[in-house]
A and B are shown apart, each in its own frame.
Chain A
Amino acid sequence: MRDEDCILETQDLSKSFPGVYALSGFDFQLGYGEIHGLLGENGAGKSTFIKLLNGLYAPDRGSVIVQNERIDRPDPILVNQKGIKFVHQDLSVFPYLSILENVCMNNYPRTRLGTINWKKGREHVSALLRDFRLDIDPDTKLTELSIGQKQLIEIISNVSQNARVVVLDEPTASLGDSEKNKLFEVMRSLKASGISVIFISHILEEVLSICDRITVIRDGRKVGTYDNRDLTKEFLIEKIVGERIDEETGQRSTENAQGHPEGEVALELSEVTYKHLFQGISLKVRFGQVVGILGLLGSGKTEIANLCFGLYRPPHGHIEIRGERVNRMTPLQAIRSGIGYVTEDRHRSGIFRFLSVTRNCSICILESLRGALGIVNRPHESRLVSGTVDSLDIRIASPAQEIRQLSGGNQQKVLLGRWLLADQKILILDEPTKGVDVGARNEFYRILRTLKEEQRAILVLTSDHREALAISDRLFLLKSGRLVEYEGLRGATPRDVLSRLTGD
């Protein structure tokens, strides 16, 4: 692509962190009105690239060029002024303000007196909502919207502010199918009006379906940029991972049903109700089994998980652990009963940001590491942690590294590892591979299979129907507040599962 055809370009962009190059010599060109996909494993450098683009990090080497104008020190305000907008995985919206206030945030229409022209603003926002076929009142506070809706609002509010390039970072992670289609519609109309889109996703089908060109990044380097003509998934996977991996091996072999005898019931919910979210839910999870709960955003999955862990107390129904009824469950009690919980949002409720990988990993077994006077036995701790790091293949520069420097997938592994160190036999995993790429996801599935063989009981909550199919021995669909078992899991295809979930 010749220079004049690029709206955005990077040359030799490089950034290193202690001991590791996160991005090295990255050359990238984005054309006008182009939808460009960015694919790569977790830890490959995608997030670093984004943060270099928007000025959050300063590059060690190389530069960012916008419309042939070289920017040596990008900073968020400058980059924003140049029309490069970012929509992140962690939304940056104003939750306590209304849609109207969010969308108009940086440019309120003014009256002649200089005050805000609410009427005009409301017309503008209503028109925008209508264009994108979002049937929501502009005065709705964002806290009342689902995550998927919030994301769409963020995208359209960026769009309405003179965007030239929109960078979408894993936008579909929280969207249901109809919302995803809306998103693609939006992307196509952006393209039609000459706005370029950088689309970062690890869901190959999506990237293949919507992108004009695709760049693959691996280990901080660009593997290549490919025109989306006759590209296949296998081709891309090979480029991403660097070796041949059959994606099918990540999926459940449907012939291999539960051959082994059913284990004891580890966790049981009976007729549990929670507010308006769900009623009369019953569920059994046995040792040596993976039970999946598949539900869309907002369906109440996380509340089920929180309930099992004692973070909520259901007004009706009860919970039994290993056959014993537990009346007032608390997290401490859940832990003592052998339950481990990896939450949906690792930033909000998972990682201790400024603490080391070691301290994050050992936090659940502090009492067992405790010696005289309460002193922590550090040699023992580091032995145990490095054992876990090895067995889960967590990529770190050193165990003393701050966990916030790790990629998302590796952080998730640390969170799983902390419960495994405590040898919890019952595991609840809420969206364990959210924002994690193909290679690391398959690793996770392998890990889950091993944990199952160790006769642990695993409850996985997910909104990804493929994932649900790949890992579950028994699958439940959470729809309209009811939990329905998916009969005939053996031999089901992803399409079957998806249609059962979204149908009737």
Chain B
Amino acid sequence: MNITPRQRQEGSLERPSARFKLPESWILIVVIIVMCLIIGIAEPVFFSFENIINIIISISVISIVGVGMTMVILTGGIDVSVGGILALSATIAGSILQNKAIPIAVPIIVALVVGIAAGAFNGFCTAVLRIPALIVTLAMLSITRGLVLIYTRAQASYGFAKAFLVLGQGRILGIPNVVYLTVVFVAVGIFILNMTTFGRKIYAVGNNQTASRIVGIRVKAILISIYAITGALCAIAGLTTISRMNAAAAILAEGLEFQVITAVVIGGTSILGGRGSIGKTIIGAVIVGLILNGLQLLGVSIYYNQFLSGVILLVAVMLDMLRQRKTRE
């Protein structure tokens, strides 16, 4: 286009020097350090190698599912069915694994299919039927948990093939495979959100769905995809869990949705959509993992878990709202 730009009025404004901007999450990193110190002083076993591995493993499930949940929340949606999808895909895989004659690729693929199907169904109801995501996924939570009970009749499956156990129990160079897996999925997630056109479209949809439609983004396809991706990630997290425990029980991942959503919110991704990142979710996952581990080490009865989960989520959302107020200018 050949348009001569208007004469800019240079020098008529003083420009205040751009201040050095601290990364927004610095305060959370300080919180993490402080928490480690507090728990460590109260229970020095916190710093033991085995405990650190425990923490990392619990963070890994939240992180893997958190990759998908971040994308969902970025578009202004929510998925409270992740625990259920994980349980369903994992228990179905578990029952297939009981039959050691079947190659382990089969239960893995079946789990993935179940996860993707459940997720895609969530996405379809939200995007095409326009039912609010909260309602759809709440229903899905009940449905999946219910199906788990129907399917297993509350019987756990256990005793899986050695080859399968490598996933959850094996180590390479002293570090559990689960960790490597988590790093891979998180890295891929970050890559997709930051670097690809798909990631750009996710942010666009989260910022303004109508405008996204107008610029030619297939909003429905994007939404269905991210819920499906979340479902798939639940299945993967489920497989690592049952591999680690060498058993699949009906109460798998009870309350996972709380932990994941809390991690996303604490990390700084806005619950209203449009801004945030997976990196922030990982920081949130670390904090959640530390809280869970801390409570365990300090001997807090597990009966408190549900209560505390709710309290922490509420506090996290309140902090998020305060943060929003500050950045509204």
Contact = CB atoms under 8 A, between A and B. Distances in A.
Interface in B207-223: 207-208, 210-218
A274 interface: no
A447 interface: yes
Interface residues on B, range: 35 or more
Nearest to B21: A18
A391 B211 contact: no
A328 interface: no
Given A352-B207, A391-B3, A20 B13 contact: yes
Contact of A350 (B8, B195, B211, B275): B211
A370 B200 CA distance: 11
B207 A242 contact: no
A298 interface: no
Contact of B15 (A19, A331, A354, A373): A19
Interface residues on A, range: 35 or more
A352 B204 contact: yes
A16 B16 contact: yes
A157 interface: no
Interface in B175-218: 192, 195-198, 200-201, 203-204, 207-208, 210-218
Nearest to A454: B1
A454 B2 CA distance: 9
A366 B274 contact: no
Contacts of A7: none
Nearest to A373: B196
Nearest to B205: A352
Interface string B53-65: 0000000000000
Interface in A325-371: 331-332, 335, 341, 343, 348-355, 359, 363-364, 366-367, 369-370
A354 B275 contact: yes
A219 interface: yes
A351 B212 CA distance: 9
A393 interface: yes
A353 B16 CA distance: 24
A351 B195 CA distance: 21
Interface in A7-54: 16, 18-21, 24
Given A343-B214, A367-B197, A19 B3 contact: no
B194 to A, nearest CB: 9
Interface centre among B15, B210, B211 (most CB of A within 10 A): B211
Given A353-B208, A353-B274, A355-B204, A331 B5 contact: no
Given A19-B15, A21-B13, A393 B6 contact: yes
B301 interface: no
A450 B198 contact: no
A452 B12 CA distance: 34
A348 B213 CA distance: 12
A420 B274 CA distance: 25
B1 A391 contact: yes
B218 A332 contact: yes
B5 A391 contact: yes
B52 to A, nearest CB: 34
Given A19-B18, A343-B214, A391-B2, A366 B201 contact: yes
Contacts of B212: 352
A370 B2 contact: no
B14 interface: yes
B9 interface: yes
Contacts of A420: 1
Contacts of A353: 207-208, 274
Contact of B196 (A375, A388, A395): A375
A450 B3 contact: yes
A450 B2 contact: yes
B211 A354 contact: no
25 contacts: A19-B15, A19-B16, A21-B15, A58-B329, A219-B9, A219-B13, A311-B213, A331-B216, A335-B215, A343-B214, A349-B210, A352-B274, A354-B207, A355-B207, A359-B204, A363-B200, A363-B217, A367-B197, A373-B196, A374-B192, A374-B198, A376-B197, A393-B8, A446-B3, A454-B1
Given A309-B214, A354-B207, 6 more contacts: A242-B9, A355-B274, A359-B200, A374-B195, A390-B5, A450-B2
In order of increasing CB-CB distance, the 8 nearest A-B pairs are A352-B207, A374-B196, A349-B210, A393-B5, A335-B216, A366-B197, A391-B1, A354-B275
Interface of A: 16, 18-21, 24, 56-58, 219-220, 242, 309, 311, 331-332, 335, 341, 343, 348-355, 359, 363-364, 366-367, 369-370, 373-376, 388, 390-393, 395, 418, 420, 443, 446-447, 450-451, 454
